Amino acid sequence: MATEEEPTVDVKLFVDKEKNKVLFAESGKEFVDVLFGFLTLPLGTVVRLLGKQSQVGCLDEIYKSVEELSNDFFRTEACKAMLLRPISTAAKQCCDLKVRVEDTKHREVYVCGHTSCCAKADGSFSSVPGAACKCGCLKFIVTDDLQVAPASTSLMLSLFKKFGVEDPSRLEQRMIQLSSVEMTNLLKRSLTSKQPLTGHCFDVAISNDVSALEMVLESLHPKQGNDAEHELDNVRIRVLRTNSSSLLYAEVNDDFVELLFGFLTVPLGSIIKTYGSWPSIGCIGNLYSSIDGSAKGCIREPCQCLLLSPKLGGSDKGKGYVKQGPQNFMVTDNLHVLPLSLENTIQVVCEAKIQSNDLAEKEFSLAKSQLTELLKAALVTPKALSSVLLPPKNKKKLPHLSSGLY
């Protein structure tokens, strides 16, 4: 629980006691500000905030690789630092909140523009330009799967109908206060669960749904023609695999490693924009769709653009992070990067308990579409290389999933 000195945001939960499920929550803009701020966080920042235990595909291993590699493998010491603590340009506008999840300093805030506003006396601010001040008392409804909309009678009735609430008096109301630690926990749940509010309320253990992950893996095709596609030529890699078609590691050059490490600098909102949804099984994609949907009228257009297309700030564009040269690397199936050496290769083979006569080397030429699939797989499975290079023979089509609030 938060201490008395620690800032918190108030959220009222409406709970179905019989099902032990949060149906929806009501809050002021402070809570919604923090939720929308999740979208501006680069993937590397997400991993760092979650203590390298994000449970999102291979992200933790990519981040650990950057940490463990010597500074000699990076173009400058600052390049390594930027990968470990990437900053989104939208952070200046969207992350100086009452409860701060990200700890980067130097941010801009917005105060109410009305000269008669009484809230200015206590220093009230908002991360979202144009958001209603507390003098206007704008309230939001947030569903368990993080769909956001301004409170209204029609929305209340539609939610009663959606959840089969015949007697609203039977719903239990719980007021909770969320600190930065608890909001960080909610961030983790939003990446890996469809019910983060219920999970927080009833302290449900965070675990990945294996069957749901398998369904996602069956479709690893990104949207075509968007501006986030990596402009790279085909990349050639050598893979050490077993005769039974399991993959141990890939031998790659600095360009491939640059692609993996650069992935840590991409904000969550840009990932959703690229693939059309959150590739893994969480529900943070609902926050993204709410910005241009059910909550659109509550966010001024300039800030809306920052949330829908957040970009990296502080990078050294055009020069890359990894030092170029003849040095090769090995990348394991879970995308952990190591310098290519006899010691490291033997260690991987020994850990896999494979006999040398059961090993075979194969060369692959990866097109841009496959590289993009690999990055998507990195968000879904700890076996990203295998899922792209050794795909299942019979892929099933994913069912159409509706993300509407009503």
Express each pLDDT in 278-309 by its tens digit: 988 899 999 999 998 999 888 877 788 888 88
- Residues 301 and 319: their CA atoms lie apart, in Å, by 32
Higher pLDDT: 398 or 57? It is 57
Report the DSSP pairing between strands 148-150 and 140-143.
Answer: antiparallel
For the ranges 312-316, 322-326, 346-350, 396-400, which has the lowest average pLDDT? 396-400
Express each pLDDT in 208-244 by its tens digit: 655 555 555 555 544 444 433 444 457 889 999 988 7
For the ranges 93-97, 310-314, 358-362, which has the lowest average pLDDT? 93-97
pLDDT at position 244 is 75
**Average pLDDT score, the chain:** 81
- Residues 239 and 374: their CA atoms lie apart, in Å, by 15
Beta strands, E only, 217-358: 235-242, 247-252, 312-313, 329-332, 337-339
Average pLDDT of the segment spanning 110-125: 44
Question: What is the full DSSP assignment across 348-400?
Answer: HHHHHT--GGGEEEEEEEE-HHHHHHHHHHTTT-S-HHHHHHS--SSPPPPPP
Does 401 map to a domain? no
- Residues 126 and 109: their CA atoms lie apart, in Å, by 6
189: alpha, beta or left? (left if phi > 0; alpha if psi -120 to 50): alpha
Does 331 map to a domain? yes
3-class DSSP string for 203-246: CCCCCCCHHHHHHHHCCCCCCCCCCCCCCCCCEEEEEEEECCCC
Express each pLDDT in 4-32 by its tens digit: 578 999 999 999 988 999 999 999 989 99
Q: What percent of the chain has pLDDT above 70?
A: 76
DSSP-derived secondary structure letter, 144: T
Q: Look at the chain and report how many structural domains it folds into.
A: 1
pLDDT at position 205 is 83
- Contact of 29 with 37, CB cutoff 8 Å: no
Express each pLDDT in 165-188 by its tens digit: 999 988 999 999 999 999 999 999
Largest CA distance in the chain: 81
Does 397 map to a domain? no
Does 182 map to a domain? yes
Residue labelled with tokens 């590691």: 249
Does 185 map to a domain? yes
Cβ neighbours of residue 330 under 8 Å, at least 6 residues apart?
249, 250, 251, 252, 337, 338, 339, 340, 344, 345, 348
pLDDT at position 69 is 97
Sign of CA pseudo-dihedral 184, 190, 192, 198: positive
Query: What is the pTM assigned to this prediction?
Result: 0.84
pLDDT at position 198 is 96
Cβ neighbours of residue 305 under 8 Å, at least 6 residues apart?
none
pLDDT at position 225 is 42
Higher pLDDT: 143 or 98? It is 143
- Residues 190 and 244: their CA atoms lie apart, in Å, by 37
Higher pLDDT: 63 or 111? It is 63
Does 395 map to a domain? no
Domain of 46, in residue numbers: 9-389
- Contact of 366 with 237, CB cutoff 8 Å: yes
Does 398 map to a domain? no
pLDDT at position 215 is 53
Residue of 94, 36, 62, 33 lying closest to 284 (CA atoms): 36
Does 399 map to a domain? no
pLDDT at position 120 is 44
